[in-house]
Chains A and B, each alone.
Chain A
Amino acid sequence: MRVSCNWLSQFVVGLPAVEEVAARLTMGGLEVESIESPVLQYGDRLVLARIVEMGPHPSADRLSLCQVDDGEGCSAIVCGARNMKAGDTVVLARPGCELPGGVRIKVAKLRGIESRGMLCSAAELGLAATGDGILVLEPGLVAGAPAAPLLGLDDSIMELSITPNRGDCLSIRGVAREVAALCGARLAPAFELPLPPWSSSRDRPPVRIDASGACSHYRGIVVRGVSVGSSPTWLRTRLAAAGLRPISNVVDVTNYVLVEAGQPLHAFDLALLAGPELAVRYARSGERLRTLDDRDVDLDCGDLVIADANGPVALAGVMGGADTAVREGSCDIFLEGAAFTPAAVRRTSRRLGILTDSSARFERGIDTGAVEAALWRAARLIVEVAGGRIEEGFCGDGVAPAAGEPIVLRSSRVEKILGSAVPPQQAQRILTSLGAVAAAHPSGLEVTAPSHRNDLVREIDLIEEIARVRGYDTFGSELPAIRMQPVSLSACDRAARELRASLASRGFYEHVGLSFASADTNARLRGLHRDESECVRVRNPLRVDESELRRSALASLLEAYRLNLSVGQSRVDLFCLGRTFSWESDGSTDRGGAPAAHAHGGRAVCQIETLAGLLAGPRPGRGLGRGEAPAFGDAKAAVEAALALLAPYGRVRFVPCAERPEYHPLACARVLAGADPVGYLGRLHPVMAEELEITEEIYLFEVDWRKVVEYSPRHEGLRPIPRYPSSSRDVSLLVPRRLAASAAIEVVERLADPCIESISVFDEYTGAGIDEADKALGYTIVYRAGDRTLTEAEVTALHGRVVGELAEQLRARVRT
C-alpha cells in the first residue's frame, strides 16, 4: 500500500515528519518497507504561470517567445515547444530552480532575447519518462501558486506492508487513524457532509438483493449530466501517488475514494442499464460477462453478480462489465457502493484469477458502516470534477450490519497474557483512540469495536491492540520459572548427530538436497520404498524437473558429484540425511515408529528418514600421493562405523543382493539390522553409470536409519573376563570364487561348540597358484574353554573336526 504523506496530512492534524511517522507505524505493526522522499526543494522557484501572449522568436524560427504572468508580473520566456497557446496555465521554473537530472535554471540570452526562466515539460519535472511539449494544466488555477504541491513533487510516499487482518489500513483514512493513535495526534474529521435521505424516485433503477448472505447492503446514487473527460491535476497527482493510472474523471473519482476511504465503488452508464431493476444475485449457469479488461468470462452459480434485465453487468466487488461501463460521452451515471462479503468476493476473484484493488479490499473486509458516506463523497467529487447534478437520495436494498456485541475486557486477563497490569484508564484511552467505545465494567471495560475494525471480535483481539499501541517495548522481559521436567535429547536427535560425526570423521561432507525429483529420476531410483508404491506428485511444481517428491536421496548426491567433478574436485565423499517419500500402497500406517503416516482421511504418505552416501575419486593412500579408486570395502567401512553408533550392541550384516537396478548386481549388499532389511550399499550399476555418463567407479549407500535405531538392542550384561588362555589356529580353504566368506563363519557358528570362541577372515587370495574359478580364504579360529586350559591335543582334535565340517559343507579343499 502506497501512502502519500500529503494526502495523509489532510486527515492528521499536525502530521509529524515522515521518518517519525514511519518509525511509529513500523513499531505499531504497520511495517513501512520504504520511503520515497522528494530529492529537490522547489519552494517558489517553481510556480504556476499563465501565458499572456505567445509569438515566434524574432530571430529563430524554431523558438517561440512567450510573455508569462507568474503572479508577480510579466516576463519573457523563450521556449522550444509550441504545444501551448495564450491563456494556458503552465509550470514556470524561475532562475535558481534546480530540476531533476541536475539542470539549474539561469537567466539566459537566447538569440538576443533574455529569457527569465523555463517552461517545463512533464519529463523535465520527472513526471513522465519521455515526451516533448510543455506541460499544460487545466484552466482555473492561480498564477504564482507553488507548483510542487499540486504536482506532488514535494510529497513523501511510504510503502506499507499491511498484514491480512488489517483491511482497514488499505486506505489513507485508515492509515491516518493509526498514525493519530500511534503518534498521539488528532484525527481530522473525515467527510462532514450531511448524508442525503432515501428516495424512491421512479426513473432510477430500484435494487434488490437476492443473495443476502453475500451482500448485507447495496446503495446507488444517480448523477445526471456529467461530462466525462480527463481529471484535474490534483486528482491525477493523488492517483499517481497511490500508484494508479488515471482513466477518466468519473472513474478516477471512484478510485480516489477507494484509496482514501477503502470503499470500492463502481460507476455504470445509467443509459446502458436495462430496467426495470438491478439485482444482486448469484450467476446462473451459462451466463457470461465481458469484463472491463475485455475478457469474456463464463460464470458459475457461485459467482456473485450485479444483473440488470439482460443479465450480469458486473462481477460483484471484483470488476465491472465492459458493456455498461462509463465511457466518453456518458451523460447519466449510476454509482454503486455496496458491502459484499469477503468469502463471496474471494471465491470469484480466485476462481477467475482476477485480483483488483476492489477485490483486495472486499476480501479483507470493508467498513460496512461507511458505505453511504463514501458513496456520497464520490458523488460530490464527481460533480466537482465532471459537472452534473446529484439526484436526490440513495436507492438500494439491505441494511448495514449492526455493531457486534460489546466485548468484556477483563483487567485480570490483560495481565495474565501480557505479564503486567495495564491501568483501565490507559486501556480505555488506547481503545478510544482506535475508534472503539469503551465503558467501565466491573471486571474491566466493556468495549464496542468500530465498524471499520472487523478484526476486533474477541477479548484477546483487544489485548493485542493495547499491547501494540502502548508499545511492545513497554512490557517487561523475564525468563520463566519452570516446573522442572526431565529433559533428554531424543534418541533420534542424538543418533542424527552421531551419524554426522561418524561420517565426517571418515572424510565425508554433508550435503543437503531439495526433496524434489523429476518423474524420470523417480522411475530410475526407487529408493527404500516399496517397489509398487506410487510416487508423490506435486500438483503445482516450480519446475518440470521438480514435479515429484524424491523416492531416493541418491539423485541429489549424484548431481552434487557431477557438479564437483565439473569444477575440478577429485575425491567426492558426500552423505545426506533427509526424508524420501511415496504414497502408502494400502493406506496403512505400518511404517513403524517413523512419523511417516498420519491418517487424517485419505491415503497416507510414507516419509522415510534416509541416510544416503556417495564415494568417488581416489582414496588417500598410506603416505603421500594419490591412492586408488574407492572399493566396496571403503563404503562398507563407513556404513559399518556409522551404524555401529546407532546400534552399539546390535548386529548389522551385509548380504549379497543382485536385484537392485541402481547397483552392480555382483557388488551390492542388502544391509540388515538384526533380521530387518534397512538399506543397500554397493557400486553404481555400470549400465546406469553409462546412462548418466559417469565414467568413474563410484559407490552408493542408502539406509533407513530410524529402523536401525528402533532395532538397537540393549546391552546384554557383562560376560565374565575369561580365566583360561585361548589357542588359535589358522585354516586356508580353497573355495569357488563366488562363495561368500560368511558361509564358513555360518558353518562354524552352527556347530555351536562352547569351546569355539570366534572365527574371523584374515585373507582372501586369488591369482598365481590357484585355479581361476577358485579363491583362497584364510580364517583364524580361536578356541577356549570356560573352565580349564584346553590341551594341545584337545585343540588339535577340535580344529580337525571344524576343518572337516568346513571342507564337507562348503565342498572346500584345505590348503596346506
Chain B
Amino acid sequence: MAASAHDQQLPEAISEEALARIQASSDSASLEALRVEYLGKKGRLTGALRALGSLAPAERPAFGQRVNRAKEALDAALAARGEELRLRRREAALEASAVDVTLPGFGPTPGRPHPLSRTLTEICDVLGGMGFTVEEGPEVEDDYHNFEALNMPADHPARDMQDTFFVGDDRVLRTHTSPVQIRVMERQPPPLRIIAPGAVYRNDDDATHSPMFHQVEGLMVDRGVTFAHLKGVLTTFLRRVFEREVGVRLRPSFFPFTEPSVEVDVGCVVCGQRGGECRVCKGTGWLEILGAGMVDPAVFAHVGYDPEEFTGFAFGVGVERIAMLKYGIDDIRLFYGGDLRFLRQF
C-alpha cells in the first residue's frame, strides 16, 4: 500500500490522470470540479507538494520542480479545454437559432403599380427633367375647349377624325388632352412649359383602340421657340423613354391646332428597323408614336397671346402605345381587365 501510496504521490502520474479527465470533461462545471480536485487547496497535486517535507532535502528541489511543471501543465490544459468548451457552446447556440433565409418574408409580398402608371411616370419624369411641369384639366370638357379654341369650329371636317362621346348639349368626353393647353394659356402668360397627362375618350373599340385611353400633352411657348426645338425636344424625349438611340423621323401631317403639323415615327423597337415580316411596323421599320406641331396662330388668338411675339410647339403622345411597344403587349384590352396574371408581370 505504501508503494502505491507513493506512486499516487508521483506528480507525473497525477498529472497524466488529470489531463485525461480534463480532455474527457464536457462542460464548465465538471471542468471546475477537476480544477478543485487537483489544484484546489486540498487538491491532489497540492497534496503532493505537501509531501515534500517527507523527502530527503537533496531530492526536494527536483521534486518541487516536477510538481510545479505538472501544475502548469494542468493549468494550461484547463484553460484550453475551457476555451474549447466555450467555443463549442457558442457554436451550439448559433446552430440552435439557425433560420432558412430563403423562406418568404413576413407580411404581404409587394404589389405593383399599373404598367400604364409606370409608363406615365417615366414619360413625366423625362419631360419633368427638361423643365415641363404637370397640369391637369377636366375629362368631361366643353365643346369650346375640346374643339373650338383648338381651331375646330363646328362643322370642321377634322371633328370627324375624333369619334366623340357626347354627354350633354355642350359637353363631351375630351377626345384628347389638348384642351388643357387652352385652359393653361387662358390663365397664365408665357413662357410656358407644361405637360398634361390624363384619360381621353374615343368612340372606338378593338385590339389597338379602347374607348378610354391615356395621353400626355406637351406645350412649350416662349419667344424664339422654333421647329428645330420641337425636333430637338421630341428626339431627346423619345430616346430617353425607349432607353436607346432609336431612329426618329418627322412626317408632315395635319392637326387643326398646329401648323406645320408633324407625325413623329420612331424606328421599330420590335424588329430593330429591319422591317421584313415584322407585324408591329408592318414591315416599314417605323412606328407612329406621336403627333406634334408648331402652335397655330389661331390658337394663340383664342387665348390672347400675340402670335407675332410668341411661338411654340405642342405634342401629344399615347401612353398605351408606348407601354405596348416597351413591354410587347399586343392587345390594349389587357390594360383594363385587372387580371393579376397580367399585372404581376410589371
Taking a contact as CB atoms under 8 Å apart, the answer to whether B250 and A472 are in contact is: yes
Taking a contact as CB atoms under 8 Å apart, the answer to whether B311 and A417 are in contact is: yes
Taking a contact as CB atoms under 8 Å apart, the answer to whether A546 and B211 are in contact is: yes
Say whether B139 faces chain A, with CB atoms less than 8 Å apart. yes
Taking a contact as CB atoms under 8 Å apart, the answer to whether A503 and B211 are in contact is: no
Say whether A482 faces chain B, with CB atoms less than 8 Å apart. yes
| A623-643 contacts to B (CB < 8 Å) | 623-624
Q: How far is the CA of A688 from the CA of B168 in the complex (A)?
A: 32
Say whether A504 faces chain B, with CB atoms less than 8 Å apart. yes
Taking a contact as CB atoms under 8 Å apart, the answer to whether A512 and B116 are in contact is: yes
Q: Which of A480, A569, A624 touches B233 (beta carbons < 8 Å)?
A: A480
| B104-155 contacts to A (CB < 8 Å) | 104, 106-114, 116-117, 121, 124, 128, 130-140, 142, 144-145, 155
- Given known pairs A29-B252, A487-B128, the reply for A468 and B260 (CB within 8 Å) is yes
Q: How far is the CA of A419 from the CA of B227 in the complex (A)?
A: 6
Taking a contact as CB atoms under 8 Å apart, the answer to whether A509 and B112 are in contact is: yes
* Nearest CB of chain B from residue A780's CB, rounded to whole Å: 25
Q: How far is the CA of A578 from the CA of B134 in the complex (A)?
A: 17
Instruction: Tell me which residues across on chain A come within 8 A of B168, comparing CB atoms.
Output: 536, 539, 602-603
Q: Which residue of B lies closest to A500 (CB)?
A: B113
Taking a contact as CB atoms under 8 Å apart, the answer to whether A549 and B260 are in contact is: no
Q: How far is the CA of A10 from the CA of B103 in the complex (A)?
A: 77
Instruction: Tell me which residues across on chain B come within 8 A of A559, comparing CB atoms.
Output: 338
* Nearest CB of chain A from residue B129's CB, rounded to whole Å: 9
Q: Is the interface of B mostly helix, strand, loop or mixed?
A: mixed
Say whether B232 faces chain A, with CB atoms less than 8 Å apart. yes
Q: Which of A29, A475, A507, A569 touches B108 (beta carbons < 8 Å)?
A: A507
Q: How far is the CA of A343 from the CA of B154 in the complex (A)?
A: 10
Instruction: Tell me which residues across on chain A come within 8 A of B113, comparing CB atoms.
Output: 500-501, 504, 510
Say whether B336 faces chain A, with CB atoms less than 8 Å apart. yes
Say whether A791 faces chain B, with CB atoms less than 8 Å apart. no
Taking a contact as CB atoms under 8 Å apart, the answer to whether A560 and B339 are in contact is: yes
Q: Which residue of A lies closest to B222 (CB)?
A: A483
Taking a contact as CB atoms under 8 Å apart, the answer to whether B155 and A595 are in contact is: no
Instruction: Tell me which residues across on chain A come within 8 A of B133, comparing CB atoms.
Output: 487-488, 490
Say whether B166 faces chain A, with CB atoms less than 8 Å apart. yes
Taking a contact as CB atoms under 8 Å apart, the answer to whether A595 and B136 are in contact is: yes
* Nearest CB of chain A from residue B142's CB, rounded to whole Å: 4
Instruction: Tell me which residues across on chain B come within 8 A of A390, comparing CB atoms.
Output: none
Q: Which of A497, A509, A607 touches B140 (beta carbons < 8 Å)?
A: A607
* Nearest CB of chain B from residue A103's CB, rounded to whole Å: 27
Taking a contact as CB atoms under 8 Å apart, the answer to whether A31 and B251 are in contact is: yes
Instruction: Tell me which residues across on chain A come within 8 A of B227, comparing CB atoms.
Output: 417-419, 467, 475
Instruction: Tell me which residues across on chain A come within 8 A of B252, comparing CB atoms.
Output: 27-29, 464, 467-468, 472
Contact with B along A522-541 (1 / 0, CB 8 A): 00000000000000111111
Q: How far is the CA of A506 from the CA of B108 in the complex (A)?
A: 6
Say whether A515 faces chain B, with CB atoms less than 8 Å apart. yes
Q: How far is the CA of A363 from the CA of B157 in the complex (A)?
A: 7
Say whether B53 faces chain A, with CB atoms less than 8 Å apart. no
Say whether A166 faces chain B, with CB atoms less than 8 Å apart. yes
Say whether A445 faces chain B, with CB atoms less than 8 Å apart. no
Instruction: Tell me which residues across on chain B come within 8 A of A572, comparing CB atoms.
Output: 340
Taking a contact as CB atoms under 8 Å apart, the answer to whether B155 and A510 are in contact is: no
Taking a contact as CB atoms under 8 Å apart, the answer to whether B296 and A460 are in contact is: yes
Say whether A87 faces chain B, with CB atoms less than 8 Å apart. no
Q: How far is the CA of A549 from the CA of B166 in the complex (A)?
A: 11
- Given known pairs A476-B228, A487-B133, the reply for A461 and B112 (CB within 8 Å) is no
Say whether A750 faces chain B, with CB atoms less than 8 Å apart. no
User: Which of B155, B167, B254, B336 has the most C-beta atoms of chain A within 10 angstroms of its own C-beta?
Assistant: B167
Q: Which of B111, B138, B228, B338 touches A595 (beta carbons < 8 Å)?
A: B138
Instruction: Tell me which residues across on chain A come within 8 A of B128, comparing CB atoms.
Output: 487, 489
Say whether A579 faces chain B, with CB atoms less than 8 Å apart. yes
Taking a contact as CB atoms under 8 Å apart, the answer to whether B211 and A479 are in contact is: no
* Nearest CB of chain A from residue B237's CB, rounded to whole Å: 10
- Our count of residue pairs bridging A and B at CB distance below 8 angstroms stands at 265
Instruction: Tell me which residues across on chain B come within 8 A of A808, comparing CB atoms.
Output: none
* Nearest CB of chain B from residue A325's CB, rounded to whole Å: 28
Taking a contact as CB atoms under 8 Å apart, the answer to whether B341 and A512 are in contact is: no
Instruction: Tell me which residues across on chain B come within 8 A of A573, comparing CB atoms.
Output: 108, 111
Taking a contact as CB atoms under 8 Å apart, the answer to whether B228 and A416 are in contact is: no
Q: Which residue of A lies closest to B339 (CB)?
A: A563
Say whether B216 faces chain A, with CB atoms less than 8 Å apart. no
Number of interface residues of B (CB under 8 A): 91
Contact with B along A767-809 (1 / 0, CB 8 A): 0000000000000000000000000000000000000000000
Taking a contact as CB atoms under 8 Å apart, the answer to whether A538 and B173 are in contact is: yes
Say whether B249 faces chain A, with CB atoms less than 8 Å apart. yes
Q: How far is the CA of A528 from the CA of B220 in the complex (A)?
A: 36
Say whether B175 faces chain A, with CB atoms less than 8 Å apart. no
Instruction: Tell me which residues across on chain B come within 8 A of A506, comparing CB atoms.
Output: 108, 110-111
| A543-573 contacts to B (CB < 8 Å) | 546, 549, 556-557, 559-561, 563-564, 567, 569, 572-573
- Given known pairs A164-B161, A549-B140, A602-B171, the reply for A480 and B229 (CB within 8 Å) is yes
Taking a contact as CB atoms under 8 Å apart, the answer to whether B338 and A513 are in contact is: yes
| A423-460 contacts to B (CB < 8 Å) | 458, 460
* Nearest CB of chain B from residue A623's CB, rounded to whole Å: 7
Taking a contact as CB atoms under 8 Å apart, the answer to whether B338 and A480 are in contact is: no
Q: How far is the CA of A27 from the CA of B236 in the complex (A)?
A: 21
Taking a contact as CB atoms under 8 Å apart, the answer to whether A539 and B338 are in contact is: no
Q: Which of B131, B139, B250, B263 touches A482 (beta carbons < 8 Å)?
A: B131
Say whether A738 faces chain B, with CB atoms less than 8 Å apart. no
Say whether B275 faces chain A, with CB atoms less than 8 Å apart. no
Taking a contact as CB atoms under 8 Å apart, the answer to whether B134 and A493 are in contact is: yes
Say whether A574 faces chain B, with CB atoms less than 8 Å apart. yes
| A572-613 contacts to B (CB < 8 Å) | 572-574, 577-579, 581, 595-598, 600-603, 605, 607
Q: How far is the CA of A510 from the CA of B121 in the complex (A)?
A: 14
Taking a contact as CB atoms under 8 Å apart, the answer to whether A420 and B111 are in contact is: no
Instruction: Tell me which residues across on chain B come within 8 A of A129, comparing CB atoms.
Output: none
Taking a contact as CB atoms under 8 Å apart, the answer to whether B338 and A556 are in contact is: yes
Instruction: Tell me which residues across on chain A come within 8 A of B73, comparing CB atoms.
Output: none
Q: Which of A472, A478, A577 touches B262 (beta carbons < 8 Å)?
A: A472
* Nearest CB of chain B from residue A323's CB, rounded to whole Å: 30
Taking a contact as CB atoms under 8 Å apart, the answer to whether B296 and A164 are in contact is: no
Q: How far is the CA of A489 from the CA of B124 in the complex (A)?
A: 10
Instruction: Tell me which residues across on chain A come within 8 A of B193, comparing CB atoms.
Output: 482, 485
Contact with B along A210-251 (1 / 0, CB 8 A): 000000000000000000000000000000000000000000
Say whether A109 faces chain B, with CB atoms less than 8 Å apart. no
Q: How far is the CA of A382 from the CA of B132 in the complex (A)?
A: 62
Q: How far is the CA of A509 from the CA of B136 in the complex (A)?
A: 25
Taking a contact as CB atoms under 8 Å apart, the answer to whether A479 and B142 are in contact is: no
Q: Which residue of A lies closest to B342 (CB)?
A: A509
Taking a contact as CB atoms under 8 Å apart, the answer to whether B229 and A478 are in contact is: yes
| B224-258 contacts to A (CB < 8 Å) | 224-229, 231-233, 235-236, 249-254
Instruction: Tell me which residues across on chain A come within 8 A of B210, comparing CB atoms.
Output: 514
Q: Which of B121, B136, B145, B212 touches A515 (beta carbons < 8 Å)?
A: B212
Taking a contact as CB atoms under 8 Å apart, the answer to whether A569 and B232 are in contact is: no
Instruction: Tell me which residues across on chain B come within 8 A of A31, comparing CB atoms.
Output: 251, 253, 263
Other 7 A-B pairs with CB < 8 A, given A478-B232, A542-B205: A164-B254, A418-B228, A476-B231, A567-B339, A602-B142, A602-B170, A622-B106
Q: Can you offer 30 A-B residue contacts whose CB atoms are under 8 A?
A: A28-B252, A29-B253, A31-B251, A163-B253, A164-B158, A164-B254, A419-B226, A419-B229, A420-B228, A460-B259, A478-B232, A479-B229, A485-B191, A487-B132, A489-B134, A490-B135, A509-B344, A510-B343, A516-B211, A536-B140, A539-B166, A560-B338, A569-B340, A579-B199, A595-B137, A596-B138, A598-B137, A598-B145, A601-B142, A601-B170
Which residues of B line the A interface, CB within 8 A?
Answer: 103-104, 106-114, 116-117, 121, 124, 128, 130-140, 142, 144-145, 155-158, 160-161, 165-171, 173, 183, 191, 193, 199, 201, 203, 205, 210-212, 220, 222, 224-229, 231-233, 235-236, 249-254, 259-263, 294, 296-297, 311, 335-341, 343-344
Nearest 8 Cβ contacts at the A-B interface:
A560-B338, A507-B108, A29-B252, A419-B226, A419-B228, A163-B254, A477-B231, A510-B114
